[in-house]
Amino acid sequence: QVQLVESGGGLVQAGGSLRLSCTASGNTICISAMGWYRQAPGKERELVATITGGGRTNYADSVKGRFTISRDKAKNTLYVQMTSLKPEDTAVYYCNAVSSSWCGGGGDYWGQGAQVTVSS
């Protein structure tokens, strides 16, 4: 099993910056990829950014050039640095981790969510 705990959410003004962190514990050796997703009121959960074990990243078009995802494997921590924030970025942000099926049986894990509110 993998447990994910997010931190760093809060209220910021438009144009500001915020960094979210996600610390993984448990069977972290089996994690093959991690990512950030978000869900705004009345909307479906959507991908924000992902990063593979090899460091390949993928971003939603809406955040390209503004958000940067990174992972510190030694600290078992995932980050997303968010800059030039817009009110449209307001959402609950969720950390995600996937584990390989051949390692500990595999799994798809989620954090509890962190509220990010961007005011205008």
Average pLDDT over residues 32-47: 96
The pLDDT of residue 103: 87
Q: Which residue has the higher pLDDT, 81 or 29?
A: 81
**What is the per-residue pLDDT across 66-101, written as a single tens digit (0 to 9) for each?**
999 999 989 999 999 999 999 999 999 999 999 988
Phi, psi of 37, deg, nearest 5: -125, 160
Which three-class secondary structure state does DSSP give residue 53? coil
**What is the per-residue pLDDT across 52-68, written as a single tens digit (0 to 9) for each?**
989 999 999 999 999 99
DSSP 49: E
Cα dist from 38 to 18, 43, 46, whole Å: 15, 9, 6
Average pLDDT over residues 27-42: 94
Which three-class secondary structure state does DSSP give residue 32? strand
Rounded CA gap, 62 and 48, in Å?
Answer: 8
**pLDDT higher than 90, residue 15:** yes
The H or E element spanning position 34 is strand 31-39
